[in-house]
Amino acid sequence: MNDVHRHESPLVDARLLHRVGLGLGVGLVLIAALMYPLLRYWLAPQITAGLQAPPPAPRLQAHPAADIAAERAQQRQRLESYGWVDRETGIAQIPIERAMALLVASHATPAAADDAPGNAR
């Protein structure tokens, strides 16, 4: 039990520190150099996928943008109008804003006085 306790040396091994830093830098450059061709190989099909020619004729839609705009306008008009769904059974459609207002009004009943937080039972 004759251990001699000494304080830690304030000197840092600068050579080892430089070697570790240089090794990390070389490793980073090496990894980047190896990953560049791999990423170009894997990403090349994804980059060129958007550049493919459209399918051959017959074209089913002459103006797809105009078609989707017309479809959305028709859907919007249906959501904002009154009409019969089934006249025999009395089922009608109402504008969505009106339906939401009716739903809120039907659920907005005031709480009973017995259920108030201040009334203990």
Cα separation, 23 vs 17, in Å, equals: 10
User: Is the Cα torsion angle 53, 58, 60, 63 positive or negative in sign?
Assistant: positive
Q: Which of 23-27, 78-82, 94-98, 105-109 shows the lowest mean pLDDT across its residues? A: 105-109
Structure tokens at 63: 């103006």
pLDDT at 44 over 50: yes
Confidence band of 61 (pLDDT split at 50, 70, 90): confident
User: Which of the pair, 102 or 2, is modelled with greater confidence?
Assistant: 102
